[in-house]
Amino acid sequence: MKVSLNQKILSRNEECAQKNKAFFVEHGVLCLNFISSPGSGKTTTIARTIRDLKDKLKIGVIEGDIKTDTDAQKIRAAGADAIQIETRGACHLSAEQVYNAIKALDAETKDVVIIENVGNLVCPSAFDLGENSRVVMLSVPEGDDKPVKYPGTFAGAEVVLINKIDLMEHIEFNLERVLADIRVVNPNAKIFQVSAATGEGLDQWYEWLLKRAGRSDD
Ligand SMILES: Nc1nc2c(ncn2[C@@H]2O[C@H](COP(=O)(O)OP(=O)(O)O)[C@@H](O)[C@H]2O)c(=O)[nH]1
Ligand SMILES: [Mg+2]
């Protein structure tokens, strides 16, 4: 009984995800689904990306949180349009919520739509939102065992951002282990080591993003 209800929810989500996907293809918009634990630095990274690429990319953001619109406010302060979705307890965004947000955001006028999913490494990875690509973030203070504990989430990533590398000297974090563990579940993932606080390593992320959005010079 429970299994079939879950299947129904997932298949309804899948139908709506297909509509979102078709929308992004039709309008030539790159949609990224950002997934990570709370506090790993998604909002900080997205806001910095908006500021640093403001002359090159028109970015719109869909924010998912259980409560509050604080992240949408931070994104607007960085200079981009943002729509906040409050999930009221749900641990992930659904494709239907994203469908409604796309309309409110005038997503067809953007080069890139970034979805900041609800913070956790479990539920968001089970729900396709119709995105073109998933970006999974892991920050140094969370510990180096996360790729082996949440393999499914890392397996679905096109990009893995290892954030807060400025804290590496203060915290025990076996980078080699993390890189090897991600490679086991996802040999093709692009892995960038960054600090959204200092800016270190972000150039490689920006290069990837511009290229993926079809906006690079080369
Ligand atoms: N030291 C350091 N702190 C960071 C970095 N990126 C984000 N933070 C801090 O981590 C906290 C959580 O960041 P936030 O972007 O809200 O994380 P989110 O919950 O994933 O959106 C904030 O206090 C940020 O200032 C980083 O690269 N280095
Ligand atoms: Mg956030």
The full set of domain ranges for the chain reads: 2-212
199 close to ligand 1 (CB < 6 Angstrom): no
Q: Which of 173, 179, 181, 210 is nearest to 192 (CA)?
A: 179
Residues with CB under 5 A from ligand 2 (ion): 42-43, 71
Distance CA 98, CA 68 (A): 17
Instruction: Give the pLDDT confidence of 49-100 residue by residue, as tens digits.
Output: 999 999 999 999 999 999 999 999 999 999 999 999 999 999 999 999 999 9
**Quick check: 138 pLDDT over 60?**
yes
Tell me which ligand sits closest to the C-alpha of residue 39.
1
158 near 42, Cβ under 8 Å?
no
28 close to ligand 1 (CB < 6 Angstrom): no
Whole-structure pTM value: 0.96
Give residue 61's identity as a one-letter amino acid code: V
Residue 160 phi, psi dihedral angles, 5° rounding: -115, 125
CATH of domain 2-212: 3.40.50.300
The CA 44 to ligand 2 mean position distance, Å, reads 7
Give residue 78's identity as a one-letter amino acid code: A
Distance CA 160, CA 96 (A): 26
Considering only 11-15, 21-25, 34-38, 176-180, which range has the smallest mean pLDDT?
Answer: 11-15
203 near 168, Cβ under 8 Å?
no
Ligand 1 atom nearest to CA at 137? 20
Instruction: Give the pLDDT confidence of 97-111 residue by residue, as tens digits.
Output: 999 999 999 999 999
**Quick check: 1 pLDDT over 70?**
no
185 close to ligand 1 (CB < 6 Angstrom): no
